[in-house]
Structure formats: structure tokens, C-alpha cells
Amino acid sequence: MDRVDAHAILPGAKPRMMSVDPTTVLGAALDALVEPVLVTDAQGRLTFANATAARVLGAARDVGHPVSDLLERLPARTPDGGRLTPALHPIRRALAQGEAVIGAELTLELEGRPAIFLVNTVPLRDAEGRLTGSVSVFHDVTGARQLEREATEHAAQLRTLVDLINEGIFIIGADGALLFTNGRGRSLLGDMPAGEQPADRIKRLRICEVDGTPLPAERLPSYRALRGETVSAMTVLIAVADGTTRRTEVSAHPLRRDGAIYATVVTWHDVTEQTRALADLEAARAAAEEANQLKDDFIAALSHELRTPLQPILGWTEVLRRHGKLDDITTRALEVVHRNIRQQVRLVDDLLDLSHILHGKLMLRPETFDLREQVRAAVEVVEEAATLKGVRLGATLPDEPVPMWGDAARVQQVVSNLLTNALKFTPAGGRVGVRLESRETRAVIEVNDSGEGIAESDLPIIFEPFRQGRQSTRRGGLGIGLDLVRRLTELHGGTVTVASAGLGQGARFRVELPRSRPEAAASAPPAGARPRLESHAVLVIEDNADTRDVLKLMLEVEGATVETAADGEDGLRAAVRMRPDIVLCDIGLPDIDGFEVARRVRARGELAGVRLIALTGYGRAEDMREALTAGFEAHLTKPVNLEQLMALLVSAPR
């Protein structure tokens, strides 16, 4: 063996080497090891410690001394934490027994930290077989043991977590053997016999399709996954361990190693109760809808039936009041009958209107009107009742007209219902007032009173149908008047709110309605007058040919230049080409709907000045709101007559 200068390579090596010549390659190799190495003679005297042993165990000081000095300085513990007696140390045992001690695990305290070593000690013998000493290698496994502990802890946590999942989880090997199952899987499918084949599993669990037919073996999710298929939420029926039949959703996914499938993970989710609950919920929903429909139908029928006998009573009361000479008692009696019949008619009308709104059948008849007139008319309706009750009734209206586009009769009904409600809950000597305010884009109507007021807890329910204030000291009516106010207001694209300082503090209802621009009167032009739409370019987008043709004719008679399109895409191309002043657009088009047409028109800068008007058979409040949100300026419900159309179109910019 070649000799090297170990002292030049490893300064200070000679004091650690008594039995190994430090100038040999062997001595240099031992010093190069990353593991501590100790060599003793037959009497247990430490004769060699490599550089790692000197650094880690501090063994350089012990060379030439009994190894017991080192063992006493570094007491060892066994894996269970007990103190290891010196006689049982691997070095002592190897010297005493003359046999190798391999893989002895010891824990040493080094610099205040535990270090775990696997110690291998081998006895050394001469050519005649006599024991001459021992060599020991300390392999540091501290990091490995830490990783093992963490892996064990993580595995335990994962198993606990998997056992808590409300799904049966199975891992099945490529040979069909069960590799793993969680607690839910064992309770759901029972013990799976070793080597059980798919056909046997189907037979044992009586696995069936949802329609009850037995599941073929090749359809079993685990079988399919082992052949590379991913199965998601396949519904099957199984006979579980307790003997009942359950509805389950089964998923399976192949597991691959180096590209080859070695197992599959399968999940079984019992959806029996969920399916039953959904079925019960659906049945309850259907029953509730049917009951609600029956209720609405009954209200509608009742309203119609009640109105029939009321009409002649009211009519004859009017005849008697206006004709004939009656004594004071009869006159007074007729006034009472007349007043109460009118109230009854109003209740019946409210029931009818509410029924129509609930069914989406209430059709607004829009026109241009001065909102002041509808407020005045509503005040006139309740003037007599206010006078008889001794309540002061006042109205504050603007001097200038308040033009608005909407159903004039329904707007009057909103104001009338609010005034009637205020009058009902205002005692004699109190006051009820209505104020109309005109703003740039909307009109504001406020009805206030000095009456009973509304408790804070009742404010959220005040507009709900058939509900009356829980804290109110007075009851009366059907509880539909304010709900009708809310629904009619929303049909016009407006909002209604209520405020009250509490019981005895009166109440204030505020209605906000979008208003139209001041427009020309919708009456027919005088003879010889110029056409009302002269120099206006109009695009009609309508898929119904008859409607499209008649609209084109009506507009051309009024002097407009009209182009038509049968669907949304054609309409958009026509709009870009002709840049019309006005676009009349149906909502229910065959390709893209009218809302999308409006959004795309508004997105194009060159069409910024186009006036968009929705023309549709949908007349619900949500339809109107969606139209305005999409970019339409107005919403017309079919059928539309010419004068309604003119009221909107004559003010369009050229």
C-alpha cells in the first residue's frame, strides 16, 4: 500500500492514531469518513478515533485511555428512553462476547441535543484468531428518525382524517386485492375477502344499476379504473352490511407509477338520505306551488264573483242619489251605502290587480300624461272620506307640468292607495298631505300623515301582502293595498319606501318614478300638418314578419325613413350602417336577445346618440328593469297603438 503524508493532509492526526499508521492510505481513508470511527485493543483501551469522532464525540482526548472513560462521559439511552448500562454498550459486548454487534440504536446527548446513532461494532482478530480489539462505526440517523416520526404522525393524522370522511375510500391493487379501506368503507361494504374478483364483489353486494338491473362486471368502477378510465359519480344500488339497499355514488381513478397502473382509488358516497330529502323537498315545492296557484286562482275567481253583484248595487245607489226626492233619513242611508260600496269595489279591484300581478298578467297601458293630474284625481277620491272623518287633507303640486310616460290610471291608483291608507290610520283632527316634486330624471311623490305611525319592527314587512303591523292598535282591511302600491310602482321602474319615527309619530311614504322628457302631445296632427317623424331614421328589429311590416307602414306614414331586420345580428349590422335616430327592438329574437342588442349598441361609440326602445310582450316589473339596465330608454308592452308610439318617438333627436 502506498504511503502518504497524513500529517500534511490532516494536521493533529497523530495523537488520535495509535493502532493505525496515520501515514497510510487506510489512516487517511478512515479520517475522511463522515461517520465517527473508534478502534480499541483487546483490553478496551481506545487506540484510534477518526477526525469525525474527534469532532462529534470529542474522542481525541480519550485515545490511549480505557474506552469506559468515553462511555461514562457520553452516557447512552436505549430507544425506549432507558439508560444503557456500560456493560451493554456495543463496544463492551463485542469485546466480551467476541462477536459483532450490528445495528444497535443509541441516543447520546451531544452539545445539549439528543443524537441518535446506529452502532456497528466488529471484533478484530490476528492471524491465529486471537482477539486483538474492536472497530466501531457510529452512523448518525437523527434526521432519518425525525423524518420517520413525522411520517408516522402524518400517516396517523391522514388515517384519522380519512376515517372521518363520510365516504367509503378503497385502494385496490392491480390484482384486485384490497390495499386500504377507511372506517366508512368497512361499515358500508363490510370486509372485502382477499382476492375477491369484480364479479364476486357484485354478487356479494348485489350491485345494481339505478333501474334495478344487475351491474355487469366490466361496468364496476374499480374494474374500469384499473383499465385506465376515470369514473365520476356513477350511481348504483348496493346491499350494505346491515342488509338494507342503499343508493350510492361511486367514483374511481387509476393510480400510476412510471406510467403503469398499479392500483385504483375508489370512493363510495351514500346518497340515499340526500336523494330522499331532495325528492321530499321537490314534492313539497310542487305541493306549495300548486297550493299557491290554487290560492291565486281562488282570489281571482272570488274577485270576479264579488264584483258582479256589487256593480248593480252601486249603479242603483247612484240612480237613487241623483234622481228622486228622498227624505233626510233615506238620503243619509244612501250616502252610507254608497260610500261603503265604493270601498268594497276598491277592495275587489285590489284583489283582482294583485292576482293579475302575481300571475304576470297585469298589462300597463302607457301614455304621456301630466302627473299633477293623477295626484289631483287621487286627492279627489278621498276628499269626501277625509271631510266626514274630520281629517285635514292637503296637496302641494308644482306650477309647471310634470310630463311622465306610464299608465296614468295605475299611477293614480298608487297615490290613491297611499292616501286611503294614511286616512285610515289618522284620527279626527289629524292631517294627511301629499307632495309632488319634479326632478330632472324622476318624479317624487310623498304622502305623510300625523296618525298612528309604524313601529320599527313593522317597517320591514309593511309592503308584504296580507300582512299588517304587529304593533298597530288598529286592524282592518285585507293587507293588500300597500303591496299593490309596491308592485305597481315597480312595474313602472320606480321604488317606494316608508319612514316613521315610531308609534304615534305618523308615517311618510315616498314613491320615486322615472319620468320621460317633455314630449309633444300624442294627439293626431291637424289636417295638413307635416308628418310627425319627418327626417327621422328608424330601425325596427322584430322577428315576427306581420308585426315588422305593420310597424314599418305606421312609421313611414308619419314620415320616418324605416329599415327592418329579422334578428339581432342583422339589426346590429344595419344599425352600424345606417346610424338611425331610433331603434325599436323586440326582446325575444331568434339569435341574440334584445338585451344583448342593446348592450352592444351602447358599447359602440358611433351609436352613442341612438335612442333605444324595447318593444316586447313581456310586461313584468323585472322585464322593465332588465330592459333599462341593458341600455333601453323606454319599454313598450305589445300591443302598441300608434298614438302610444308617437308619444315616445316625436321627441327623438335627429
Q: Work out the end-to-end distance of the chain between its first and last CA atoms, rounded to an integer number of angstroms.
A: 110
Residue 520 lies in a domain: no
Quote the pLDDT of residue 397. Answer: 93
Quote the pLDDT of residue 472. Answer: 55
227 and 338 together in one domain: no
Q: Is the peptide bond before 403 cis (omega within 30 degrees of 0)?
A: no
Domain containing residue 261: CATH number: 3.30.450.20
Quote the pLDDT of residue 340. Answer: 64
What's the burial of 27, exposed, middle or buried (CB within 10 Å: 0-12/13-18/19+)? Answer: buried
User: What is the C-alpha to C-alpha distance for residues 289 and 74, in angstroms, rounded to an integer?
Assistant: 84
User: What is the C-alpha to C-alpha distance for residues 20 and 29, in angstroms, rounded to an integer?
Assistant: 11
Domain containing residue 628: CATH number: 3.40.50.2300
Q: What is the DSSP string of 152-169?
A: HHHHHHHHHHHHHSSSEE
10 and 140 together in one domain: yes
Residue 34 lies in a domain: yes
Cα 644 to Cα 368, 407, 450, 647, 650: the distances in Å are 8, 11, 40, 5, 11
Quote the pLDDT of residue 148. Answer: 87
503 and 452 together in one domain: yes
Residue 527 lies in a domain: no
Over residues 311-327, the pLDDT tens digits come to 566 556 655 665 567 77
Quote the pLDDT of residue 4. Answer: 35
Q: Which of 598, 601, 613, 622 is closest to 648 using CA atoms? A: 613
The residue out of 147, 181, 202 marking a domain boundary is: 147
The residue out of 115, 147, 179 marking a domain boundary is: 147
Assign 171 to helix, strand or coil.
strand
Residue 519 lies in a domain: no
Q: 444 and 436 in contact (C-beta within 8 Å)?
A: yes
Residue 350 lies in a domain: yes
186 and 243 together in one domain: yes
Question: Does the pTM exceed 0.75?
Answer: no
Q: 210 and 236 in contact (C-beta within 8 Å)?
A: yes
User: What is the C-alpha to C-alpha distance for residues 205 and 201, in angstroms, rounded to an integer?
Assistant: 6
304 and 217 together in one domain: no
Residue 279 lies in a domain: no
99 and 122 together in one domain: yes
350 and 379 together in one domain: no
Extract the C-alpha cell encoding 126: 490476528
339 and 438 together in one domain: no
The residue out of 328, 358, 388 marking a domain boundary is: 358
477 and 578 together in one domain: no
Residues of the chain with pLDDT under 50: 1-18, 304, 474-475, 517-528, 652-654
Quote the pLDDT of residue 118. Answer: 93
Over residues 481-511, the pLDDT tens digits come to 788 888 889 888 899 999 988 888 889 999 9
What's the domain range around 242? Answer: 165-270
Cα 593 to Cα 73, 428, 600, 601, 630: the distances in Å are 90, 55, 11, 13, 11
Structural domain count of the chain: 5
378 and 470 together in one domain: yes
Quote the pLDDT of residue 16. Answer: 47
CA angle 49, 50, 53 (to 5 degrees): 75
489 and 460 together in one domain: yes
455 and 547 together in one domain: no
Residue 155 lies in a domain: no
Beta-carbon contacts of 608 under 8 Å, excluding residues fewer than 6 positions away, are: none
Residue 490 lies in a domain: yes
| Residue for grid cell 234622481 | 323
Q: 322 and 335 in contact (C-beta within 8 Å)?
A: no
Beta-carbon neighbour count of residue 517 at 10 Å? 13
Q: 395 and 379 in contact (C-beta within 8 Å)?
A: yes
